Amino acid sequence: MAILERAKFSSFEESTQEDWAKIAPRLDITQSLVPERVIRLLRELQNDHGGFPVDRLEHSLQTATRAERDGRDEEYVLCALLHDIGDTLSPFNHPSIAADILKPFVSEANHWMVAHHGIFQGYYFWHHIGLDRNSREQFRGSEFFDYTAEFCAEYDQVAFDVDYSSEPLEHFEPLIRQTLVTSVPAV
């Protein structure tokens, strides 16, 4: 096994062009591992019900399947699939986790939708747990308000149906692999 040469700096401030010539090419390698890591994270959602009628993976699959069957484009379907990927890692901050994974690869509208879906989803249940279900109103002026409200109404909040026949994760794996590797991220 070849030993890869490493940069020699202790801080970015003292780094050199030669250091970055060693690092930059490896970013593509690291990014190429992201799809399999995302798939693994999705699989970890299986059998974690958190008290919900279906496990978190099934919820994600139902959300994506509903969007796909409704004719939404692949980017939207991917967002629907990954919107809760951070749910078991950090339940209170899970929208940000998903949005940050997706940001380099999706439109501003889809990024905003994923980043804000948690507070918009609250419209359907927060009043049952002592929170203000209308908290989403603080974003009423956003150009993506209706778009995000529609996502939650049509796909997210209805995706807890134990009798729904969703596509399996394997159905969506090519989309994950294609998008999170071959897309050129915006800097």
153 has pLDDT over 60: yes
Per-residue pLDDT tens digits for 66-78: 999 999 999 999 9
For the segment 99-123, what is each residue's pLDDT rounded down to a tens digit?
Answer: 999 999 999 999 999 999 999 999 9
Q: Is residue 3 situated within a structural domain?
A: no
Q: Is residue 7 part of a domain?
A: no
State the CATH number of the domain containing residue 84: 1.10.3210.10
Assess if residue 8 is contained within a domain.
no
- Mean pLDDT for the stretch of residues 156-185: 90
Q: Structural domain tally of the chain? A: 1
For 89-101, the pLDDT digits (tens) are 888 899 999 999 9
Would you say residue 47 lies in a domain? yes
DSSP conformational letter for 118:
H
